Amino acid sequence: MNELVHPYHRFIRPTVTHSSFCPGCGDGTIAQSILRAIDGLGMDMDDFVFVSGIGCAAWIPSPLFNADVFHTTHGRPIAFAFGVKMGLPDKKVMVVSGDGDLVAIGGNHLIQNARRNIEMVVICANNSIYGMTGGQAAPTTPMGVKTTTTPYGTFENFFEDISGLIIAAGASFVARWTTAHPRQLTASIKKAIQKNGFAFIEVISQCPVQFGRKMGTGNAVQMLEDYKKRSISIKEAKKLSPEELKERIVVGEFVDLDKPEMVEEVTRMIRRASAEAQEAMETGRG
Amino acid sequence: MSEKRVHTGRYFMMGNVACAEGALAAGCEFAAGYPITPATEIANHLAEKLPQVGGAFFQMEDEISSIAAVIGASWAGKKAMTVTSGPGISLMVENIGFAIGVETPCVIVNVQRGAPTTGMPTIGIQGDMVQAKHGSHGDYEIIALCPSSPQEMFEHTVIAFNYAEKYRTPVFLLSDAFVGHMREEVVIPEAEKIETIYRNIPEPGADPLKIKGFLDEDVAPMPIFGKGFKAHVTSSCHDEYGKRNLIDISALDKFVRRLSNKILKHKEEITLVERDYEDAEIVLVSYGGVSRAAAAAASQARKKGIPVGTLRLITVWPFPGEEIEKMARKAKQVIVLENNLGQVYPYIKAEAAHFAEVSFLPPRLVGEIQDPEDILKMIMEVST
């Protein structure tokens, strides 16, 4: 009898025997959506360098993916990815990390590289909490929620629209889905990989252990059902007032535009500078 | 290296510019940094010259991302560097620890300035000496070189790249505002006379599962990205294959020891010093710009018939304790000179005090290199 093998098993590092995610975690859905997108595009894992920071979502590629994987410091994966991309412009560079990593401690790298519009895919698993350290408030935790560091409820306004921030910063491609939309998410990741520019995908993802249990939003299934109920497409959302959109999750592809991309601009600059230097040397002005 | 990279000739050149020229000659392809006095001239010069040879300088949003980008580029296979001053290093130290942990070749130039904190940007001090060694958390070894002239800003930058590539580690060039802004004759030799080293990498087509890319005291081949090595690079405690291990203390012990031993095992070949203490009873120990004052004072003292010699540390880290001991066994008096309140002094004293009297002479004003007259006065005091 033939052994049954998962179709994406070939994408998994052979030395990895298990994942470190809690039961019901959304990171598995995100991992599979990424692999489905790569498979769907007919690409190879060697076409990619995966970069991640610190936190649960950072462990999606590290060590799971059988590719070049760069597991870096907290908040800085995009800054590391910048150097990797400049050094290997022909490779696809994908950053996978969480909201705490990318938006709190690493917020400026996210903004600045969206502004640069450097070609890379950034997938932000947004679970509205610090999961790995045990359920502390994040900049994405809704106001008033009790967490381990806000036992009386959070007293800060929170990021309700990370995607909006990245659109304003100037990224070429911005989309938001939830883990209840794996097919749409996969389709957007495919587009993001092919995008010649900074492509940001926010994935609202369930953390049943540190968020669901503490916040009373239930287990993984209940959280996913809640995402489905609250999600609304961009088109539909346009018909509603801000008041009506409260508590709703607007999903879809917000931005998909063509604009100058940084690696290309740098390549052009280098070509110009070396040609000028060559000419100066030949004419004896060097 | 090509002629394009090596601008052979005799120049009247600023130290910082000489550093950038050294980087070009060493084969630097990627530089990232953030503007800061008194290091900016290096960035400016690299921004102009690197694109001419196919590289580039990138101005990042801060020093944290600068060093991160440098490490990323190094893993992409590029020779990479960053240039900054003390405040920038303070921001970089976490990622410098990362570079050490995953064994990343890169060069970090610190043109030291008046400190602590924002301090006095255009004044040179040697205030970040211990920071270079202990700035990041945990036990680790680092390599640091201290140039004392624009010529050495060029030469030591080349050496720094070679050490970085050979030992797969960040290497510090610890200059200061005086040496960085000093203008002197700089001779850039012909390209073929400049030795350049590139890291070892695994054989092309090697089985990824068999690549031992980490934690070898004799320096593992670096499984750089983009070659199909499927490298798993994590600064979490890992084994020789890069596999994360967060539960076994013996794995941590191996991680810490091997990283340190990789440098310590090769200390003799890393250590560069300048000895001029034959028959001397009093030895002045210094490094960087201060060594110029020490040499002047020693020469004046010898004219007066006092047997004074000098020992100049070029490699300050790993600390060349053996060299200090060798010197101290011959000397009666050791005078340590630094442009700070005594940062490397305790290390020197620990090695020398068993054999000789050791004293420290700070500059009259911190930020002012010792006046040779003051050094001479100190020599007279200890020699009586």
Query: What interface predicted TM-score (ipTM) does this complex get?
Result: 0.97
The answer, yes or no, to whether residue A119 has pLDDT greater than 80, is yes
Assigned superfamily of A9-259 = Thiamin diphosphate (ThDP)-binding fold, Pyr/PP domains (3.40.50.970)
Per-residue confidence band for A179, with pLDDT thresholds at 50, 70 and 90: very high
Assigned superfamily of B9-193 = Thiamin diphosphate (ThDP)-binding fold, Pyr/PP domains (3.40.50.970)
Task: List the one residue out of B340, B348, B359, B341 whose CA is nearest residue B319.
Answer: B348
State which fold the B272-383 domain adopts: Rossmann fold (3.40.50)
The proportion of chain B whose per-residue pLDDT surpasses 70, expressed as a percent, equals 99
Query: pTM for the complete prediction?
Result: 0.97
Quote the CA–CA distance of A140 and A58 in Å, as a whole number. 17
Judged by CB atoms within 8 Å, which residues 240-259 of B form the interface with A? 241, 243-244
Written as one string, the DSSP assignment of A258-283 is ----HHHHHHHHHHHHHHHHHHHHHT
How much is the average pLDDT of A152-176? Answer: 97
Q: Would you say how long chain A is, in residues?
A: 286
How much is the average pLDDT of B187-207? Answer: 97
CA A167 to chain CA centroid, nearest Å: 14
Please tell me the predicted confidence (pLDDT) of residue B343: 98
Q: Tell me whether the CATH fold assigned to B9-193 matches the one assigned to B272-383.
A: yes
Classify B131 as helix, strand or coil. helix
Which one of A54, A65, A72 makes the best mutation probe of the B interface by having the most chain B beta carbons within 10 Å?
A72
Q: From the list A69, A72, A84, which residue is nearest B76 (CB)?
A: A84
- CB atoms A15 and B241 under 8 Å: yes
| Dihedral, B328, B329, B330, B333 alpha carbons, nearest 10 | 40
Which phi and psi (to 5°) does residue B383 adopt?
A: -85, -10
Amino acid making up residue A216 = G
- CB atoms B51 and A274 under 8 Å: yes
Say how many Å lie between the first and final Cα of chain A, rounded: 72
pLDDT digits (tens, 9 = 90+) for B252-291: 999 999 999 999 999 999 999 999 999 999 999 999 999 9
The answer, yes or no, to whether residue A285 has pLDDT greater than 70, is no
How much is the average pLDDT of A246-250? Answer: 95
Please tell me the predicted confidence (pLDDT) of residue B2: 61
The answer, yes or no, to whether residue A137 has pLDDT greater than 90, is yes
Mean pLDDT across chain A:
95
The structural domains of chain A, with segments of one domain joined by +, span 9-259
The answer, yes or no, to whether residue A286 has pLDDT greater than 60, is no
The structural domains of chain B, with segments of one domain joined by +, span 9-193, 272-383
Which phi and psi (to 5°) does residue A232 adopt?
A: -145, 140
Judged by CB atoms within 8 Å, which residues 63-102 of B form the interface with A? 64-65, 68-78, 80, 94-95, 98
**Residue whose tokens read 């940007």:** B121
Separation in Å, CA B372 to CA A177, B54, B338, B345 = 70, 46, 13, 19
